Amino acid sequence: MKMVSAAKLKKAESATLNFVPYKSKLSEALSNYLGSLEGQVSIPLAENREVKKVALIAFSSSSGLCGVYNSSVSKLFKQAYDEYAQSIGKENITVILSGKKINDYAKRFQIPVERYYEPDAGRPSYDFAIELSDLMVKLFLEHKVDRVELIYNHYKNAGVQFSQRETVLPLKTDTLPTAQSFDYLVEPSKEEFINALVPKVIRTVFYSVMLDAHTAEHGARMTAMHIASDNAEQLSQELKIQYNKARQNVITNELIDIVGGAEALNG
């Protein structure tokens, strides 16, 4: 199982690394264009307003044997849900979950789930990322949610994964990379160009998070299988020592019986 997880981790890690340059370039293009503009530009998806309704989207696996991967993201999801339930009320929280483990966790605490998705067994689907991203964009533009947060496990390396919360809407244009000075010519207008590009940027954020969570899952599973293998090896050694001790005691007792019998005959 460790070898299978290692092979899957390599594929997942490769897919994530291959997608990062595309995401970075798209965000850089938006940043550079915004930096080249003079004056204010209306970006509806970057509108900061009072948070009255929130969408929480959490990602977990649908199977176990991956250490604390599912429990850590589930606890962070519950923490975020409780925070918003206290501040804006449970009725104003839209919960969308991907993964059987976190869905079971939500049922245990009787947390209402608006939508549940069963993640693909293999590589995350970009079509699913588009579907979920476009749904959140639609809800945000219709003022049905004022903030969208993603809760998932971030992959740092095979031995380290940690859960985190990321706000994707409203889009934080001020946190984009430092813009360079370019002179852009766009048609039909700068507002239409920006508002066509922004949803694509958000799609890449959703997909990169899914790839990240998927990679973290296989990293956690490989680590768990490695620890299990080490524990099994240690247990095997301990059992072997106990077996040898027991065998030695049996042999010793048999020798004592033989020696005692021989002395009795000689006596």
Q: What is the mean pLDDT of residues 115-143?
A: 87
pLDDT bucket at 85, cuts 50 / 70 / 90: very high
pLDDT bucket at 36, cuts 50 / 70 / 90: low
Query: Looking at the DSSP assignment, which residues form a beta bridge with residue 43?
Result: none
Residue 108 scores a pLDDT above 70 = yes
Residues 6+ apart with CB under 8 A from 180: 32, 35
Residue 8 scores a pLDDT above 70 = yes
pLDDT bucket at 40, cuts 50 / 70 / 90: low
Per-residue pLDDT tens digits for 42-62 = 788 888 889 999 999 999 988
CA 145 to chain centre: 23
Sign of CA dihedral 236, 237, 242, 247: positive
First to last CA, the chain: 63
Q: Report the percentage of the chain scoring pLDDT > 90.
A: 31
Residue 36's Cβ-side half-sphere holds a number of Cα atoms within 13 Å equal to: 15
Residue 103's Cβ-side half-sphere holds a number of Cα atoms within 13 Å equal to: 15
Q: How far apart are CA 180 and CA 186, in angstroms?
A: 17
Q: Average pLDDT, whole number, for the chain?
A: 83
Residue 180 scores a pLDDT above 60 = no
Angle between helical axes of 190-266 and 126-141 (0-180°, round to 10): 130
Q: What is the mean pLDDT of residues 163-169?
A: 91
pLDDT bucket at 177, cuts 50 / 70 / 90: very low
Residue 16 scores a pLDDT above 90 = no
Q: Where are the domains of the chain?
A: 11-220
Residue 175 scores a pLDDT above 50 = no
Which DSSP state fits 147? E
Q: Residue 69 has which token pair?
A: 């991967």
Residue with the larger pLDDT of the pair 231 and 81: 81
Are the beta carbons of 78 and 202 closer than 8 angstroms?
no
> Which of the residue ranges 16-20, 139-143, 248-252 has the most confident prediction, judged by mean pLDDT?
139-143
Q: Residue 50 has which token pair?
A: 């009072």
Pick the CATH number of 11-220 from 3.40.800.10, 1.20.120.530, 3.40.640.10, 3.40.1380.10: 3.40.1380.10
Per-residue pLDDT tens digits for 216-261 = 888 888 777 766 666 677 787 878 888 888 888 888 888 887 877 7
Residue 264 scores a pLDDT above 90 = no
